[in-house]
Structure formats: structure tokens, C-alpha cells
Chain A
Amino acid sequence: EAGVAQSPRYKIIEKRQSVAFWCNPISGHATLYWYQQILGQGPKLLIQFQNNGVVDDSQLPKDRFSAERLKGVDSTLKIQPAKLEDSAMYLCASSFRGGYSYNEQFFGPGTRLTVL
């Protein structure tokens, strides 16, 4: 079974630039999550999709971050414009079921973002 795929693996940009990350979840997983993990901290949930609908985006900084999952499969997370404090690992995860039960999540390898 293929795992969660993410690209790119690394990205370096200057502040005020835009960046986008892509995620393809495990086939058949209805729920997709985006996390931000700052070095030395635990992952912080940014947004959860159930199919193509948003379940929870309470911790997403909506003034600069956006995410979509138009066809209920793969997803993109965008930051526009980036700030220095956005430097982090961006992790995508998927689970077979979701909603507020937050079942076992399978994580991708992540995208390491550095903002200069």
C-alpha cells in the first residue's frame, strides 16, 4: 500500500513570497489533515478535510494560509505572503475515517520550509 505522498520535500523562499505544498493521501482515505511542526514542538493541526469539506480549520491563520481539496483526493496548502515565523515542517496526514473521532493518522514525509 502506497503511503501519503508530499511535494516538494524542501523549499526555501524569501519573506513575502508565496509557496504551495501538495499532498496525495492514501487511497480510500476520506480524511486529510495538514499540520505545521516547528522545530522542537509537536505538530499543530492547521486544517482537516472530510472528503472535500472542511471539518476543522480553527487553527489556520486564514489571513495568509489557504487550503483546498477540490475533488476529495489530493490537497494543496498555500501560504501568501510568507513570514519568517512560517519556517517549519508541513506535514500531511490521512485517515480512513475522520470527523471528531480523529482516528489513526498516517503521515507523509513532510515539506521542510525555510523562509529567509
Chain B
Amino acid sequence: GQQVMQIPQYQHVQEGEDFTTYCNSSTTLSNIQWYKQRPGGHPVFLIQLVKSGEVKKQKRLTFQFGEAKKNSSLHITATQTTDVGTYFCAMNTGNQFYFGTGTSLTVIP
């Protein structure tokens, strides 16, 4: 099955630094979702983006959907230790649904 590469695969940051993960598709998407999975846990829904160029914020998290609806990013401002986990994008092509490979975030206190 198809899996879309997210970049970076791993990211280690000092607490307080910013973090960004990117998700890219070769095809135009109907929508894109972002999930967070803590170590040993299950994916938890964060947000869904539907519109071209859409930007949504949740406290320190900013989500963007590209103008062409082929890419997306998640940016965390001033990371905290509670942000540790793997962040996945999940892409809806209209008739299929794929999770990205994930970006594993480690926050060093």
C-alpha cells in the first residue's frame, strides 16, 4: 500500500525550540488530517484541513494546507515535553486514505 513520506523522519529539539513537519502528496487531496501518537499509544486526531491555503491554529500548533492542496505542514511553537510523540498526516485522495510515515519528535528538557 501507498505510504507518503513525511519529513523529517526524526527531530530532536530542546524544550522551547520550534518544530515543523511536512507532508507532501503527488496528487491533489480532498482533505488532510493530522494525528498525534504518543509512545505506546494510539493515534489521536488533531485537526482536519479541507480548503486550499487553509491555516488553523490550536494554541501552540499551526496547521497549513497548501494552495494546490498537495502539501501540508504542522508547526509547533516553543515545544514542551508534553509534545513528545509521532505526528502523522493522513491524506484523503477522494477515494483512498493514506497515513504518512510520521515524524517522531523528541523534546529534550
Contacts and interface: CB of A to CB of B under 8 A. Distances in A.
B45 A105 contact: yes
9 tightest Cβ-Cβ pairs between the two chains A and B: A42-B99, A107-B42, A59-B1, A102-B92, A104-B45, A43-B99, A102-B97, A107-B43, A44-B1
Interface string B1-28: 1010000000000000000000000000
Interface in B56-95: 88, 90, 92, 94-95
Contacts of B88: 42-43
B52 interface: no
Report, as a range, how many residues of chain B touch the other chain. Answer: 20 to 34
A100 B92 contact: yes
Contacts of B30: 100-101
Given A41-B3, A42-B99, A59-B1, A100 B94 contact: yes
Contacts of A107: 42-44
Interface in B92-109: 92, 94-102
B3 A56 contact: no
Interface string A48-63: 1000000010110000
Interface of B is mostly: strand
Interface of B: 1, 3, 30-31, 33, 42-45, 48, 88, 90, 92, 94-102
A102 B31 contact: yes
B100 to A, nearest CB: 6
B92 A42 contact: no
Contacts of A106: 45
Given A43-B99, A58-B96, A108 B42 contact: yes
